[in-house]
Amino acid sequence: MYNDYLEILNELKNNNKNYAIATVISSTGSSIAKPGFRLIVSENRIIAGTLGSRKMDSYVLDACNESINKNMTKNISIGLDKNNKIYDYNMDTTCGGVINIFIEPFYNSQRIIILTESDDDEIYLNIKKIADIIKINLLKINTENEKLEEKLNDIDLKNSYFILLTKNEKEI
Condensed to tens digits (0 to 9), the pLDDT of residues 15-69 reads 878 899 999 999 998 888 999 999 999 989 999 999 888 989 999 999 999 999 8
- pLDDT bin (cut points 50, 70, 90) of residue 95 is confident
pLDDT of residue 136: 82
pTM of the model: 0.67
Q: Is the pLDDT of residue 99 over 90?
A: yes
pLDDT of residue 171: 56
Q: Is the pLDDT of residue 139 over 80?
A: yes
Nearest one of 149, 150, 148, 144 to 167, comparing CA atoms: 144
Q: Torsion over CA of 59, 46, 52 and 56, rounded to 10 degrees?
A: 10
Phi, psi of 48, deg, nearest 5: -155, 150
3-state helix, strand, coil in the chain (%, to 5): 30, 30, 40
